[in-house]
Amino acid sequence: MLLNRFEKAMMNNPVRAGIQRHFEARTLTRLGGRAAGRRCLELGCGRGVGTEIILDHFGAASVDAFDLDPHMVALARRRLASRGTRVRVWQGSATDIAADSGSYGAVFDFGIVHHIPDWRRALAEAHRVLEPGGRLYLEEVLAKFILHPVWRRLLEHPLHDRFSGPQLTRALEDAGFVIRGSEELVGWFAFVVADKPR
């Protein structure tokens, strides 16, 4: 599901980038460590800030990244052009990832899965493209936020079958992941790191 104009503005500004760099990345690192030297994938890369974080903060060797929105793909390609062959960006869907099974050492989701009507399929796809022993890093928005009357008016999200933190971790386990660490922020946001068993 594409972002509406308001949410695009919320997600593509320096404040959001700062929160992503200085809070979300640190929280995910505390829960799951770095991804040093790994080939990584970012689901829903937006304008490319997350890909920079995966390279610079998490220490990835390379990052493949995609987004459903062609405008965001163009912005990410421009932003990441100086990274050369360490980055590849394309237009694609998290429910049908254009990658072979077992391709990545780590997969990152900075708040994308809650936009997907069939979010369980996206989790299954993330599991498929991870190599055995690979790690999934998620920062996600929970049902309590999505269904809040104010945010429902301003933002466009699928409203059916949204998840709480426990429902998200249970779905990850159902997809074959082992939860390494998780925490919630005011019941609105979840941070989860999960492994694909060897």
From the list 124, 25, 42, the residue with the least C-alpha distance to 79 is 42
Radius of gyration of the chain (CA): 15
- The band of 49, judged by pLDDT with boundaries at 50, 70 and 90, is very high
Instruction: Pick the closest to residue 45 from 120, 97, 119, 111 (CA basis).
Output: 111
| Residue type at 158 in one-letter notation | P
- Which CATH number characterizes residue 93's domain? 3.40.50.150
pLDDT band at 6 (very low <50, low <70, confident <90, very high): low
* DSSP string computed for 116-178: -TTHHHHHHHHHHHEEEEEEEEEEEE-HHHHTSHHHHHH-----TT---HHHHHHHHHHTT-E
* 124-178 pLDDT tens trace: 999 999 999 999 999 999 988 787 666 666 667 666 788 999 999 999 999 999 9
pLDDT score of 147: 75
**What is the model's pTM?**
0.92
- In tens, the pLDDT along 60-117 reads 999 999 999 999 999 999 999 999 999 999 999 999 999 999 999 999 999 999 989 9
Domain region containing 144: 5-195
Q: Report how many domains make up the chain.
A: 1
Residue 9 has what pLDDT? Answer: 61
DSSP 8-state code for residue 186 = T
